[in-house]
């Protein structure tokens, strides 16, 4: 077989100031916070590798449904030569809530160029990164999730811990622990919604600590609660 193509999909990653690397391509952030006071948001893509890549990008709704996301990303498809950098621009192109944050998924696929030697067996790997795109309306006046984290309410529900978010911000969790035992697979809770996460075996309640991921993708301060 002359060419074997394998697709690897990387999950959502953290941090705006920390770069995310996929094969030879480096994405200049691991989340995008779109400030509603500005006309656009941007994200850089750098290729320090020795071969060019084809870069494809698109934006999906939170549930991955067929409806179109209210954003335009340019350029959506381009060649990124070796040792070059490009900046992708994201522009709002539809109606969004102005009293709370909205979250979407930004997908970036990096496809390396194929070698020209037709007699050689090669492995071509396309890598897709999926990161959070969070639109923050201008009406929220510069607040951020970390400032509101203590407003979250927590309760014990069966074998899970339930968190309710009365704020206008998405709360993306870095960690949640109960009585010193970390919960697995913690994600986020949307504005005005609730989310549940499974408790560790043998834990039913007690002291709870959690950390929120800040706008730059780093863990924030430790917050305390009880269930």
| In a shared domain, residues 114 and 63 | yes
The Cα 123–Cα 2 span in angstroms is 9
Q: Write down the pLDDT at residue 120.
A: 65
When the pLDDT of each residue in the chain is averaged and rounded to a whole number, the result is 86
| In a shared domain, residues 87 and 170 | no
CATH number at residue 54: 2.60.40.10
Which residues have a Cβ under 8 Å from the Cβ of 180 and sit 6 or more positions away?
Answer: 207
Q: Write down the pLDDT at residue 205.
A: 84
The answer as to whether 2 is a domain residue is: no
The Cα 103–Cα 31 span in angstroms is 11
| In a shared domain, residues 209 and 121 | no
| In a shared domain, residues 31 and 134 | yes
The Cα 103–Cα 86 span in angstroms is 24
The 10s digit of each residue's pLDDT in 8-57 is: 333 333 333 334 444 478 999 889 999 999 999 999 999 999 899 999 99
Question: How many beta carbons lie within 10 A of that of residue 25, not counting itself?
Answer: 22
Asked whether the bond before 75 is cis by omega within 30 degrees of 0, the reply is: yes
The 10s digit of each residue's pLDDT in 94-150 is: 999 999 999 999 999 999 987 666 666 666 678 899 999 999 999 997 689 999 999
Structural domain for 200, as ranges: 146-226
| In a shared domain, residues 120 and 162 | no
Q: 191, 101 in Cβ contact below 8 A?
A: yes
Q: What is the pTM of this model?
A: 0.83
| In a shared domain, residues 159 and 217 | yes
The answer as to whether 9 is a domain residue is: no
| In a shared domain, residues 71 and 121 | yes
The answer as to whether 176 is a domain residue is: yes
| In a shared domain, residues 194 and 119 | no
| In a shared domain, residues 95 and 176 | no
The answer as to whether 14 is a domain residue is: no
The 10s digit of each residue's pLDDT in 145-154 is: 999 999 999 9
Task: Count structural domains, the chain.
Answer: 2
| In a shared domain, residues 204 and 162 | yes
Evaluate if residue 160 carries a pLDDT over 70: yes
Q: Write down the pLDDT at residue 24.
A: 79
| In a shared domain, residues 44 and 129 | yes
Asked which of 98, 123, 140 is the last residue of a domain, the reply is 140
The answer as to whether 113 is a domain residue is: yes
In the chain, the largest separation of any two C-alpha atoms, in whole Å, equals 65
Evaluate if residue 66 carries a pLDDT over 60: yes
């Amino acid at each position: 077989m002359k060419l074997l193509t394998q697709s690897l999909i990387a999950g959502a990653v953290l941090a705006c100031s920390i770069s995310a690397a996929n094969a030879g391509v480096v994405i200049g952030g691991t989340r995008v916070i779109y400030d509603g006071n500005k006309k656009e948001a941007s994200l850089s893509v750098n290729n320090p590798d020795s071969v060019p890549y084809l870069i494809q990008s698109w934006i999906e709704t939170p549930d991955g449904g067929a409806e179109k996301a209210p954003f335009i990303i340019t350029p959506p498809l381009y060649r990124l030569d070796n040792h070059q950098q490009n900046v992708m621009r994201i522009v709002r192109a539809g109606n969004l809530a102005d009293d709370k944050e909205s979250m979407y998924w930004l997908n970036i696929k990096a496809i390396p160029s194929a070698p020209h030697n037709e007699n050689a067996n090669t492995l071509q790997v396309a890598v897709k990164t999926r990161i959070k795109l969070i639109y923050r309306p201008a009406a929220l006046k510069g607040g951020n999730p970390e400032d509101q984290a203590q407003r979250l309410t927590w309760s014990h529900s069966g074998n899970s811990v339930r968190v309710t978010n009365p704020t206008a911000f998405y709360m993306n969790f870095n960690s949640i622990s109960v009585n010193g035992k970390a919960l697995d697979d913690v994600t986020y809770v949307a504005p005005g919604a609730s989310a549940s996460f499974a408790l560790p075996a043998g834990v039913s309640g007690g002291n709870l600590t959690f950390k929120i991921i800040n706008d730059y993708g780093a863990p924030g301060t430790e917050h305390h609660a009880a269930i």
